[in-house]
Structure 1
Amino acid sequence: MCASTSPAGSSLVESPMTKKRTMASVEDQMIVLMDGVDLGSETLQQAMTDELRNLLNEDRPLTVYCGYDPTATDLHLGHIPTMVKLRQFQDFGHQVVFLIGSFTAQVGDPTGRQSTRPMLGESDVEEFSKTYINQAFIVLDESRTKVLYNHEWLAPLQFAEVIKLASEFSVGHFLQHSTFRDRIQKGDSIRISEFMYAILQAYDALHMNTDVQIGGTDQIFNIVDVGRTLQASRGQKPQVALTLPILVGTDGKEKMSKSIGNTISLTDEPLDMFGKLMSLPDEALDLYARLVTNLHPTEVDNLLLDIKKGNITPIEAKKHVASSVVSLIHGANEASEANEYFEETFQNRKDPIAEAPLYLLTEDVRLVHVIMDSMNLSGGEVRRLVAQGAIKINNETATDINQLLAEGDFLRVGKHKFLNIAAKL
């Protein structure tokens, strides 16, 4: 229907059918927001794609959330794919809720665990929460992020309401979850509290009544099978579930994990972060480009196509992705400097000795003290690096953390950290 003409002196009245969108086109948003999403099955993937498209057709800011149980003091790249996805929603004008699992962290997510996860105390959760929020704002726009804590509505729940929630699910329902099924088959114990974790997470969704929930693929059961089920049973429109693959570590095989030692920390220096990214196997390039950079999906597709056609070498493509990751975390200038340093030192084989920082020896000239003092590492981390053969003194592999250093020594820690040792004061 076309806009009609009013009597003289009146303005044109726009028909609802021709009303202009206030937000980006649905297809432009879908290309970015569905990129990297993996829901485990074609049926569920198509269903969530259709539901998201329907929501975007409403031409309004959606409310999107992701929950984070604060269980560590520092984050690594494996923690941020969901934050990158949240930022993509923010950039399209949607409202983001960063939910701190201040209550659920005390219960412990059993997903992927071969044994019961230890419960955290309130003080630990409070300390870890501050770290999560501060580091999350490396990726998210703080001014457009609402931070909530789920203890605010979970802690006051009456026991009768908890029983009512639990009654909506059967034990058989939970034993569909591979984590529980595997442990039952092995004869390992499962605590009732571990079943409750997924129910409490589902209650988060019910309480906030948001449009979309983001999570990892290891959360499909909790978000879809439990969360959407609870919402539907309470007469609420189930939220769209978007899950992302788990980021592999620097070995390109295992999930990024501090216990495995294959992490890239958000607190890593730009040069060190860039170097670790360059050590990734080529097969991990696609995953990193889509999950932990600001590259548009079309740019990633073209980059991978150029590799396949031989228009660009894998190492050049990897440098582009590494620069994008470092830029996201540290900034464009730092990324440029890290790229230049890598090219000069490793590609062009420029000797790093001349540019290595100077360390002036004090009374304690032991290797472990010098590294702890100059690189902010713990004694345990130094011991681990020595055991891995990752520390060299004058190109000789160090074997003793208490080895004494002297003026003129050149220290290499890992691939990207160097020190020139100067005379003791």
Structure 2
Amino acid sequence: MDCLPVGDLERKLALGRPLRVKFGVDPTAPDIHLGHTVPLLKLREFQDQGHTVVLIIGDWTARVGDPSGRSATRPLIDPEAVEHNAATYADQAFRILDPERTEVRRNGEWFAQMGLSEVFRLAGSATVNQILHRKDFAERLKRQQPVSMLEMLYPLMQAYDSVRVGSDVEIGGTDQLFNLMMARDLQGQFGAADSQSVLTMPLLVGVDGAAKMSKSLGNQIGVTDAPEEQFGRVMRLPDEAMPSWFEILAPDVAMPPDPLHAKRELARLIVARSHGQPAATEAQSKFDHTVSRGEVPEDAPSLVMAERRGEVHLPALITEHLGVASRNEARRLIGSGAVSVDGRRLTDLDVPAADLIGGTLRVGRRRYLRIA
């Protein structure tokens, strides 16, 4: 964790008044993930000390897409999709934040009303040289990859949020440093008597153990994911990722030396934060029975096929009844050997109904379907 400029946050805290602490999240997917909880936990610390959190839901910045750390231009997101994603963001954040000390704003409040003259003023507040000084932009230009004009506006748009809400402090990931410091410059240019302090938080690596947790990369754990899903995905973390996960998500908890015990403890903590301790205990019990011991859970769904004749198209069956995202994903699972009935691996896309009736279909390590 870094505070910039050095000593500035201490100076503000010494003022003895509640500070406005800003955090922005773009609704590019329906769920807030564990990577977001790192700054959210720090924001809660500020709230517990009497300060106000300003949560910016970037319904307009999401349409542009944050270029931070990107090696290619993001596709534009449909406004309807953004609105769908944004609908529950505040409620998800309130799993950690205190609603009574949180001010929720959407940056569409100002960007939707902005006239061309205001856009000119915003665009004129920075130089092309400044924007292209960003490491990701510089790398893309070096490789002769395109940087869109829209992407170049993103840091200014995020910075302008700080102008509009009068933030004293802004919290973000280490990859957001350029954007956060841009906000300091912009606040001064728009007449603020004092510019925000910047507090950067470490980035959480995703469940693949390779890249930072990201909705667009699909390596995230959502804060609203089911308890057993959260527990199971933590248990699949690479062992080498565990020290950083404990350091970032549970700095006050000593990591057990055994990787399996470490994952179980971290999984319980994560589920308890999102769903409560009873849910964490139940998720662990289900994991132990369905994964560790290979038992079929008592609440596994059932499907009656007793009158079925002929063949069953397996991708359609597991997509419809076992929550697999698509038939293409179902085919991939079958091809990788992750689909079985009563322990017998299924490799064909079409199987006789008689081979399924009376058995238990298993997909992956935690999905079961009893077939009668």
Q: What is the one-letter code of the residue matched to 1:80? A: T
Q: State how 1:211-226 maps to structure 2 within 5 Å.
A: 211-224=168-181, 226=182
Q: Match for 1:353 among 265, 277, 296? A: 296
What is residue 289 of structure 1 aligned with on the other side? 246
Query: For residues 153-179 of structure 1, what are the alpha-carbon distances to aligned partners after superposition, in whole Å with 9 as ceiling and x for unaligned?
Result: 223233233223322322111121111
Query: For residues 200-243 of structure 1, what are the alpha-carbon distances to aligned partners after superposition, in whole Å with 9 as ceiling and x for unaligned?
Result: 1111111111111111222111111x111222334421212122
Cα deviation, residue 258, structure 1: 5.2
For 1:122 and 1:191, locate their aligned partners in 2 and report how far apart those are by CA, in whole Å: 19
**Can you give the 5+ residue segments of structure 1 that lack an aligned partner in the other structure?**
1-36, 38-44
Cα deviation, residue 343, structure 1: 4.2
What is residue 189 of structure 2 aligned with on the other side? 233
What is residue 207 of structure 1 aligned with on the other side? 164
Q: Does the CA contact (< 8 Å) of 1:323 and 1:336 recur in 2? A: yes
What is residue 25 of structure 1 aligned with on the other side? none
What is residue 403 of structure 1 aligned with on the other side? 351
Q: State how 1:19-418 maps to structure 2 within 5 Å.
A: 37=1, 45=2, 47-48=4-5, 50-224=7-181, 226-236=182-192, 237-257=194-214, 260-292=217-249, 295=250, 297=251, 299-300=252-253, 303-304=254-255, 307=256, 312-343=257-288, 349-353=292-296, 355=298, 357-362=300-305, 366-380=313-327, 381-404=329-352, 406-418=356-368
Query: For residues 125-174 of structure 1, what are the alpha-carbon distances to aligned partners after superposition, in whole Å with 9 as ceiling and x for unaligned?
Result: 22221042343333333343221111212232332332233223221111
Query: For residues 267-298 of structure 1, what are the alpha-carbon distances to aligned partners after superposition, in whole Å with 9 as ceiling and x for unaligned?
Result: 43322321211221233224333544xx4x3x
Q: Does the CA contact (< 8 Å) of 1:352 and 1:418 recur in 2? A: no
Cα deviation, residue 356, structure 1: 6.1
Between the aligned residues of both structures, percent identity stands at: 40
Q: Judging changes above 3 Å, is the alpha-carbon distance between structure 1 residues 87 and 167 closer, same or farther for their aligned structure 2 residues?
A: same
Q: Does the CA contact (< 8 Å) of 1:97 and 1:147 recur in 2? A: yes
For 1:89 and 1:275, locate their aligned partners in 2 and report how far apart those are by CA, in whole Å: 32
Q: Judging changes above 3 Å, is the alpha-carbon distance between structure 1 residues 417 and 266 closer, same or farther for their aligned structure 2 residues?
A: farther
For 1:118 and 1:149, locate their aligned partners in 2 and report how far apart those are by CA, in whole Å: 21
**Can you give the 5+ residue segments of structure 2 that lack an aligned partner in the other structure?**
none
Q: Does the CA contact (< 8 Å) of 2:231 and 2:267 recur in 1? A: yes
Q: Does the CA contact (< 8 Å) of 1:367 and 1:404 recur in 2? A: no
Q: What is the one-letter code of the residue matched to 2:367? A: K
- Please give the TM-score of this superposition, normalised by the length of structure 2: 0.87
Range with greater deviation from structure 2 (47-56 or 171-180): 47-56
For 2:61 and 2:216, locate their aligned partners in 1 and report how far apart those are by CA, in whole Å: 22
Q: Judging changes above 3 Å, is the alpha-carbon distance between structure 1 residues 323 and 385 closer, same or farther for their aligned structure 2 residues?
A: same
For 2:223 and 2:346, locate their aligned partners in 1 and report how far apart those are by CA, in whole Å: 27
For 2:44 and 2:114, locate their aligned partners in 1 and report how far apart those are by CA, in whole Å: 32
Q: Does the CA contact (< 8 Å) of 1:356 and 1:419 recur in 2? A: no
Q: What is the one-letter code of the residue matched to 2:351? A: Q
Aligned length: 364
Q: Judging changes above 3 Å, is the alpha-carbon distance between structure 1 residues 322 and 49 closer, same or farther for their aligned structure 2 residues?
A: farther
Q: Does the CA contact (< 8 Å) of 1:174 and 1:195 recur in 2? A: yes
For 1:388 and 1:92, locate their aligned partners in 2 and report how far apart those are by CA, in whole Å: 51
Q: Does the CA contact (< 8 Å) of 2:4 and 2:197 recur in 1? A: no
Q: What is the one-letter code of the residue matched to 1:385? A: L
Structure whose alpha-carbon radius of gyration is higher: 1
Cα deviation, residue 252, structure 1: 1.1
Instruction: Give secondary structure in 1 for the equivalent of 2:302.
Output: strand
Q: Judging changes above 3 Å, is the alpha-carbon distance between structure 1 residues 61 and 414 closer, same or farther for their aligned structure 2 residues?
A: farther
Instruction: Give secondary structure in 2 for the equivalent of 1:368.
Output: helix
Q: What is the one-letter code of the residue matched to 2:341? A: I
Query: For residues 299-358 of structure 1, what are the alpha-carbon distances to aligned partners after superposition, in whole Å with 9 as ceiling and x for unaligned?
Result: 23xx04xx4xxxx53322322111110111121101012223444555xx5341374625
For 2:42 and 2:85, locate their aligned partners in 1 and report how far apart those are by CA, in whole Å: 22
Q: Judging changes above 3 Å, is the alpha-carbon distance between structure 1 residues 196 and 47 closer, same or farther for their aligned structure 2 residues?
A: closer
For 1:258 and 1:157, locate their aligned partners in 2 and report how far apart those are by CA, in whole Å: 29
